[in-house]
Amino acid sequence: MPAHLTARRSPPLSGRVRAPGDKSISHRALILGAMATGVTEIEGLLEGDDILATARAVEAFGATVERQGEGRCRVTGQGGFRQPAGVIDCGNAGTGVRLLMGAAAGYAVTTTFDGDASLRKRPMKRVTGPLAGMGARFDWQTMEDRLPVAVIGGGLTAIDYVQTVASAQIKSAILLAGLNAGGVTTVTEAEPSRDHTERMLTAFGVEVGVLPVGDGRRVSLQGGQCLTGTAVAVPGDPSSAAFPLAAGLIVPGSEVTVEGVMLNPLRTGLFETWREMGADLTVSNRRMAGGEEVGDVTARHSKLKGVIVPPERAASMIDEYPVLAATAAFADGATVMRGVGEMRVKESDRIALMAAGLTACGVRVEEEAEGFTVFGGPVRGGATVTTHGDHRIAMSHLVLGLAADQAVTVDEPAMIATSFPGFVELMSGLGADIAASE
């Protein structure tokens, strides 16, 4: 991998591409497959670094993972987790480590979890707090709330947990632990977060109750239920599709189609927001795949206008604010993004890094504690952006560079492979000028 990648102003982009497999669903397919009895056949699996770390982790817990071709893999579960031999290194993956901690807490095993420098900075008590309430024990190896941590599992009792943070990772960790806890585990969320765990558990034969409560949901399951291996077809990741689609919207004369994009309404807040900004975004060939609605999404170059993004939409597009901010730089007027404090505890502090990167590219940004505003106008570019190893910060700035006056360079490009291996090749195939640089 080169030291840097540089994106330059590009001619109109055109073509049809396939989105890589959804990262959230790929993690869950491997983890549930390992917890299940029997064989789980996965197709369309994302083969990004985050997922490869989860695949190694479930093998360490006793499952067999056999790669059978591109995106095709067979997981043979043992109906539970066995004692792993060494430390479970989840790399860069917050979803991987938090879901695995929840699953491991349910079994009588002691597991030390660790991750890369970015993952070691991210809060873990949001998950270990409720798991401790169920009876799991935690031994923080260096400091509280941060990896590495040893999880001592087994003997859990159910919890009735009311979430203060809208987070599918927390909800999922509790539900996975709840599968092996005595009693009925319930998670109540004020704003609904992505529901892939609930949907997939049902596909593995688990009875999951979902009730609407106000604007949110209450999800519950009875402990002691067994999972049975099944087939999982992973749909295309809307969070990854966002990058070629964003490029289509901002590079003059472009028309880009991404095929097989998951359209789960708890994931499509960005598309809704882009439409409100005046984006020419259309969906064709709607169909069901792997229990989710998918479609082919086409973005044509559009004259965008700034909007106020409703804060209650945040959970349905939390990973998409960086790329939204990149497109907002080309809009007429201000795009106001509030209620997104969670962005500060992702792979990096994404509010701070987007504000810094866009400002370095000549875009006016106002940063707040829990949000930021991007003022559209001419985008100069001409900067080298520090990504702190965050894949989405890198891809957002590269997309910006395709329509900026001067080139935009990002550091640590190897990290893009955590969620979007083949990003540069896919974008180049559409006509984007993205190349290695020193």
List residues binding ligand S3P (CB under 6 A): 24, 95, 167-169, 172, 193-194, 318-319, 342, 346
Instruction: In angstroms, give the least distance from the CB of 118 to ligand S3P.
Output: 13
Alpha helices in 122-281 (DSSP H): 125-133, 168-178, 196-203, 238-250, 269-276
3-state DSSP percent of the chain in helix, strand and coil, to 5: 35, 30, 35
Q: Which of 22, 296, 319, 390 is catalytic?
A: 319
The phi and psi torsions of 47 (rounded to 5 degrees) equal -105, 45
Least Cβ distance, residue 419 to ligand S3P (angstroms)? 8
Instruction: Quote the least distance from Cβ 25 to ligand S3P, whole Å.
Output: 8
CA atoms of 366 and 416, how far apart (whole Å): 27
Of 7 and 124, which CB lies nearer to ligand S3P in the complex structure? Answer: 124
**Cα–Cα distance between 136 and 335 in angstroms, integer?**
43
Residue nearest to ligand S3P (CB): 24
Name the token pair of 134: 């169920």
- Is position 319 annotated as part of the catalytic site? yes
Under DSSP, the state recorded for 163 is: -
> Cβ closer to ligand S3P: 13 or 232?
232
* Other CB atoms within 10 Å distance of the CB of residue 28: 25
Least distance CB 390 / ligand S3P (angstroms): 11
Whether the CB-CB separation of 250 and 277 falls below 8 Å is answered with no
| Single-letter code of the amino acid located at 334 | A
CB of 22 to ligand S3P, least distance (A): 9
Dist CA 286 CA 424 (whole Å) = 27
State which residue, 294 or 379, has the beta carbon closest to ligand S3P: 294
234 with 199: CB under 8 angstroms?
no
**Nearer CB in complex with ligand S3P: 88/175:** 175
Distance CA 246, CA 236 (A): 16
Question: In what helix (H) or strand (E) does residue 104 lie, and over which residues does it extend?
Answer: helix 94-105
Q: Which is nearer to ligand S3P, 46 or 149 (CB)?
A: 46
Minimum distance between the CB of residue 384 and ligand S3P, rounded to whole angstroms? 26
In DSSP notation, 53-83 reads HHHHHHHHTT-EEEEEETTEEEEEEESSPPP
In the complex, what is the shortest distance from the CB of residue 363 to ligand S3P, in angstroms, rounded to a whole number? 24
Residue closer to ligand S3P by CB (options 169, 180) is: 169
Q: What is the DSSP string of 401-433?
A: HTTSSEEEEEE-GGGGGGT-TTHHHHHHHTT-E
The gap from C-alpha 300 to its chain's centroid, in whole angstroms, comes to: 25
Residues in the chain: 438
Catalytic residue IDs: 319
